[in-house]
Chains A and B, each alone.
Chain A
Amino acid sequence: MTPKKKKILKIGAILLIVGLLIGGGTVLYMFNMPHRNVQNASTDFSLTASQLVTEYLENPTKANEKYLADDGDSKVLEIKGTVAKISEDFNGQKVVLLQETTDKAGVSCTFTQETNKNASTVQVGETITIKGVIRLGASYDPDLEMYENVVIEKSDLVK
């Protein structure tokens, strides 16, 4: 074997190994890709709870088109509103409902284990701003016979 051929073989082998490593790494990364960190993501829209509810009640199709994403990583919103209710879900996460008394529906914001402590100082009647990801819009449900709230999750207070 000439030294030139040897060199080509060597480079080829290195390229192959590097390629395999990158390929394998990408597959592994894709498979173990972490969830999007909603709080670190940039805010797509800032609006009031009333505005968001009105948009959904007036034109749900248009609102879904605007706010929901195909892969579930929907828009990150900052919502300002009056605290109407504070509760806790079955996962021990705080749920803060932002709703004006004149509105038919509100915006239900679920916090996380990490952000729960920030919700504990919140009081009913206060006006606050919450950042989170939208999961579902507001609508009147004829089977429930009531208005459903907008669902926001991965929430935290905006200071």
Chain B
Amino acid sequence: MKKVSFLLSTVAIVLALFAFTPPVGKFVSSKTHIKFFSHTSVEDIQANNYASVSTIDPSTGDVVFSVPMQSFEFEKALMQKHFNSDKFLDTKQFPKAKLKGKITNIAQINLEKDGTYQANVEGELTIKGVTKPIKEKGTVTVKGNQIEVQSTFSITLADYGITFVKGKPASNIAKTVEVTVHAEYQSE
């Protein structure tokens, strides 16, 4: 009898412990797509990256994107070489870009309930070693235990020390480029 009650209380303690552990940790995504799009009257240029890693912390709303810069692919090889070179993004010195933000309205987003939610993100973007504040809007879609995040925003290249004063790049690359971010998370 004593043995049984001991067993029961042990079970009760274990159950209680589980009940107090947060139900979900950070969501991790390695299924991502980041796109740069530049439009000028001369030409449209785009570059795609499918190798970024992202995390979302559902309790705090912290969202992080880590972007391998050499993974951006352009249609033209020469453009890709220019993009990587020390005159532009200097990807050998700065192989990673990072977006570090917070979903400020996370309280209004129920990650356990299917639906589409508007998210306000505030934080910092680091490109080529330069960090600038950003404020953007995004969409969070919940479907089962899968969460998708999407956002489109603009960045001014000169803010990050990326400037072209002469030649083809100056006329063919927009001063402000559109960045599209898409990630799919599974709970770990």
Contact surface of A with B, Cβ cutoff 8 Å: 30-36, 64, 68-74, 87-91, 93, 95, 108, 110, 135-137, 141, 143-146, 148, 151, 153
Alpha-carbon gap, A31 to B173, bound state (A): 15
Nearest-Cβ distance from residue B47 to partner chain A, whole angstroms:
11
Interface contact B85-A151, CB-CB below 8 Å: no
Identify 25 residue pairs between A and B in the complex whose beta-carbon atoms are under 8 Å apart, listed by A's number. A31-B76, A68-B91, A70-B86, A70-B92, A71-B81, A71-B85, A72-B70, A72-B81, A72-B84, A73-B81, A87-B31, A89-B50, A90-B31, A91-B33, A91-B48, A108-B30, A110-B50, A135-B68, A136-B51, A141-B66, A143-B66, A143-B98, A144-B64, A151-B51, A153-B51
Nearest-Cβ distance from residue B178 to partner chain A, whole angstroms:
18
Alpha-carbon gap, A136 to B49, bound state (A): 13
Known: A74-B70, A151-B71. A146 touches B92 (CB 8 A): no
Interface contact B53-A68, CB-CB below 8 Å: no
Known: A70-B84, A93-B50. A33 touches B26 (CB 8 A): no
Chain B residue, CB-CB nearest to A34: B77
Which of the residues A33, A64, A143 comes within 8 Å of B95, measured between beta carbons? Answer: A64
Is there a chain A Cβ closer than 8 Å to B182's Cβ?
Answer: yes
Contact surface of B with A, Cβ cutoff 8 Å: 26, 28, 30-33, 48, 50-51, 53-55, 64, 66, 68-71, 76-78, 80-81, 83-86, 91-92, 95-96, 98, 100, 182, 184
Chain A: interface secondary structure?
loop
Interface contact A135-B71, CB-CB below 8 Å: yes
Chain A residue, CB-CB nearest to B83: A72
Alpha-carbon gap, A72 to B26, bound state (A): 32
Interface contact B66-A144, CB-CB below 8 Å: yes
Which of the residues A91, A135, A144 comes within 8 Å of B53, measured between beta carbons? Answer: A144
Interface contact A68-B95, CB-CB below 8 Å: yes
Interface contact A68-B66, CB-CB below 8 Å: no
Interface contact A90-B92, CB-CB below 8 Å: no
Alpha-carbon gap, A89 to B183, bound state (A): 10
Interface contact A145-B26, CB-CB below 8 Å: yes
Residues in A with CB closer than 8 Å to B50 are 89-91, 93, 110
Interface contact A90-B30, CB-CB below 8 Å: no
Interface contact A72-B91, CB-CB below 8 Å: yes
Interface contact A151-B55, CB-CB below 8 Å: no
Known: A87-B30, A148-B53. A136 touches B76 (CB 8 A): no
Alpha-carbon gap, A139 to B50, bound state (A): 19
Residues in A with CB closer than 8 Å to B85 are 70-71
Nearest-Cβ distance from residue A132 to partner chain B, whole angstroms:
12
